[in-house]
Amino acid sequence: MALTKIESSNIADDAITLAKLAAGTDGELITWDASGNPAAVAVGTATHVLTSNGTGAAPTFQEASGGNVELITHTVCSSDTTVSFTGLDTHTDAAMFQIDFIFHPSVNNTYFDILFGTGAGPTYATSGYTWNNWGLTSGSGSRQLQGTSAASMHVAELQSTNKLGTDTGEGLQGSLFFIPAVGDNRSRIFGAYAGVGEDNYGCWGGNFAGGDTSVSTITALQFGLTTAGTFVSGFFSLKKHKKA
């Protein structure tokens, strides 16, 4: 006679081994459904965490909730001519982007430049920028410079003769915030910085604000130097501040 039923009382504790369980899908977990029957929790996405959905509902794998600021990418400079961040338009949950930077340039008498890119390419505009710098230098006091219909946006243009330099200890650091165009508003980038100028001119710093003259979807940001040269060392970090 075939055996049709085994009472649980006839099974010793810890007698069921993993080898006796039915095959499943790698990454799934076992749970119980609303009727109390065994069920599987579907495989999640890499980096997602198991999240409770409350009593009577199976847990699911979801994106970790770690605040509204998320690191997108971190680039360490190693004699890079430019540093670019693309695909900004794919982050539809971003209220704004934050770029933290610190670098040492390979050439003297240069500025730190920003270009806006559009399209999937992307294509970087080389005209139509407006920007403004205001700050203090330890050598010449306060200074304000600006550009209109410019080929690029100059960050930290506070000194007409002593700019970024290559001596030990010279360079620039700071944070910039990029806000994409919304409705009739244009894209804007702004922030603050500090550095030591060419030939150790002195510590200087200030505020920067810039943008372009059209309302367009900016898909990329490119950072470079006005004079042909490279970012010898340092880093650029791109973060996004999510919408509430």
Compute and round to an integer the Cα radius of gyration of the chain.
28
pTM for the full model? 0.72
Q: What is the distance, to the nearest Å, from the Cα of residue 93 to the centroid of all Cα atoms in its chain? A: 13
User: Would you list the domain boundaries of the chain?
Assistant: 25-65, 69-242
Provide the 3-class DSSP secondary structure of residue 78. coil
Q: What is the mean pLDDT of each run of 10 residues along the chain (244 residues)?
A: 74 85 85 84 80 82 76 96 96 95 88 93 94 74 77 73 72 93 89 75 79 90 91 96 87
The pLDDT assigned to 77 comes to 96
pLDDT value of residue 81: 96
Of the candidates 87, 104, 79, the one whose C-alpha atom is nearest the C-alpha of residue 240 is 87
| The two three-digit tokens of residue 198, written as one number | 């060419």
